[in-house]
Every structure is written in C-alpha cells, then in structure tokens.
Amino acid sequence: MQQFFRRSRRIRMAAAASALPLLAGVAPLAGCAANFDSQLLQPYNQAVGINERDGGVLALDVAVVADESGNGTLVGALVNKTADIDQLLTVNAGGRVTAPDLAEPITLDPETLVQLAELPNTVSISGPDVQPGMTVPLTLQFTNAQPIEAQVPVVAQEGTYAEISIEPAEG
C-alpha cells in the first residue's frame, strides 16, 4: 500500500512539473488588454454618415445636414485613391428630393481628402423627404471614378453639425 502512495505521489509531482511551463506561458497572456488603456475601455462614437469604400473615390461619413424646412447640405469627405485628378461632376437625387447642379465641379487631387462642408460652394439638397431621421437616395457622378450610389442619412443641424451652412436648393 505504501508503494502505491509513493507511485501516485511521483505521478502527481511529474504532472505538476510538466504543467508548470504551460501555466508560465499562459499566465502573461491572461492579462492582455485588461489595463486602463485597453481599447475595450475607450469610448467609441460611431459615425453618423455612410461610408462607401469601393472604386477610385471613397465617400466617408457622408450625410445630409437638414433644417426644419426640408433644406440640407451634403457633408462628409471624399478621398481620391487614384494617381489621377478626378472631379465630382454632379449629385443626383431620387424620389422627392432635389439636388441642383453644382456651381462648378469639385476637384479631387490624387490621394487627397476633401471635406464637402469646407468648400466655398456647398452641395444643397431639398425636398419633403429631407428631414432628420430619414434617408435620401443620392448618386455622386465623377469624371473618372465609378458613381457612388447610396441611401444617405439626414441629420439635424445641431451638435457637431450646428455650424453647417444650409442654403435652399434651387433647380
């Protein structure tokens, strides 16, 4: 009987000795991302607008900022990912939404981001469907890149968008 306990004690010691390196390798990994700078503990604010990342021009965080009268301004960023200059020629709207012709094409230099709200001539959108909480069908036509077609969300002119200039669309 005593021999049985000696053997089982040797087995337990051997098992513990072989498990020790395994535990030593796993223990440091158990604390990954568990400190106060962990990405899990950082605030995340989802973008309001849509992102279209197909084709030569990317549309990032694109939305329509609207007032209570059904007038809005297209905001967001366009990024020309090609090596050639491109231009936004027109913004076409569908349904009960009007998007007049642009005063002039918007030039998109290669590998450059253009903020639509910061341009001297804004892109105006109007119609009964241009109300916060709705979406409007828009198509952005470019000289070279394929068109971007999207249901663009309409947001209120408040908070981040309080300073966006809104002009009634004519045409």
Cα diameter, the chain: 101
Q: What is the pLDDT of residue 37?
A: 62
Instruction: Profile the chain (171 residues) by mean pLDDT over runs of 10 residues.
Output: 59 69 59 59 72 93 95 96 96 90 94 94 92 96 96 95 87 55
Cite the beta strand spans of 116-170 per DSSP E.
124-126, 135-142, 148-156
CA 103 to chain centre: 28
Q: What is the pLDDT of residue 70?
A: 94
| Number of CB atoms found within 10 A of residue 151's CB | 11
Q: Comparing C-alpha atoms, which of 130, 136, 128, 132 is closest to residue 157?
A: 132
